Amino acid sequence: MTAVAEPRQPRIIRRVIRQWPTATRTVLVDTDQGEGYLKAIGGDPTGPHTLACEWVGTQLARWIGLRTFDFALIKVTEEDEIPLAGGDLAIPGLGFITRAERGAPWGGKVSELRRLANPEDIIRLVVFDTWTLNCDRYFPPRRPNRDNVFLSREGAPPKQFILKAIDHTHCFTCGRELSRRVSNIAHIKDRHGLTDYSLSSRVTWSPRGTCSEKSYAISSNVCGS
């Protein structure tokens, strides 16, 4: 199996461990580089569009300083015969895969946030989701999707977590197909209160995308640390 070269690049899918009936029908697989979460074509009605958003969104998240899972592209072939939730097979083509880590999605408890080793990333996450129009983590009047915030134990100090941003398939288009309409001014207006945090006057960014000391103070206050 061939793949696009990336750090910790998996090349062989050995077996399917578990499937989830999510929008992209993510599959936990065992590879030659360990376990990983695979999103393949065929898991979502928009086909490659949401995978493209995942690829670009995850790289942008890293660019502004957010932690993410290690990720890569991997070529899925007909011989792989990867079953998805619902009974379909993954369509051959490039898939998006992330390395599985020890930890769990945020359960919504403030006590968990107090144990973050990187509380400043709470502000980064709000700015990122507003910037990329990501409707899949928080988008009024929808219920917040806390499964898209992962509290990782890997590399974290004892009894603490590292907040990681995951699942960016709904950046830019809210899960719809990519088209020229994405650039329309009507699509980038903040009509849903996603920036009602006075961030414009309280958070500054350097060219490298690092938060200022003010943003750290804000997130520390949120976490109660």
Query: Does any domain span residue 210?
Result: yes
Cα dihedral 84, 89, 91, 97 sign? positive
**Rounded distance, CA 9 to CA 33, Å?**
7
Q: Are residues 36 and 68 in the same domain?
A: yes
54, 82, 99: which is the final residue of a domain?
Answer: 99
What is the per-residue pLDDT across 164-206, written as a single tens digit (0 to 9) for each? 999 999 899 888 888 877 766 565 555 554 433 333 333 344 4
Q: Which range, 97-111, 136-150, 182-196, 203-217, has the best average confidence (pLDDT)?
A: 97-111
Query: Does any domain span residue 7?
Result: no
Higher pLDDT, 13 or 205: 13
Higher pLDDT, 40 or 219: 40
**Strands of 70-224, DSSP E:** 71-76, 93-99, 103-105, 149-152, 162-165
Q: Are residues 128 and 73 in the same domain?
A: no
Q: Are residues 47 and 63 in the same domain?
A: yes
Higher pLDDT, 64 or 7: 64
**Rounded distance, CA 225 to CA 222, Å?**
8
Query: Does any domain span residue 1?
Result: no
**3-class secondary structure, 217:** helix
Q: Are residues 108 and 205 in the same domain?
A: yes
Q: Are residues 63 and 173 in the same domain?
A: no
Range of the domain at 47: 13-99
Which amino acid belongs to residue 194?
L
Q: Are residues 91 and 115 in the same domain?
A: no
Total number of domains in the chain? 2
Q: Are residues 200 and 133 in the same domain?
A: yes
The 3 state secondary structure assigned to 174-213 is: CCCCCCHHHHCHHHCCCCCCCCCCCHHHHCCECCCCCECH
Residue corresponding to tokens 């750290």:
216
Is the bond into 141 cis (omega within 30 degrees of 0)? yes
What's the gap between Cα 27 and its chain centre? 15
Q: Are residues 78 and 176 in the same domain?
A: no
99, 134, 156: which is the final residue of a domain?
Answer: 99
When the pLDDT of each residue in the chain is averaged and rounded to a whole number, the result is: 79
> Which of 106-115, 119-128, 148-157, 177-186 comes out lowest in average pLDDT?
177-186
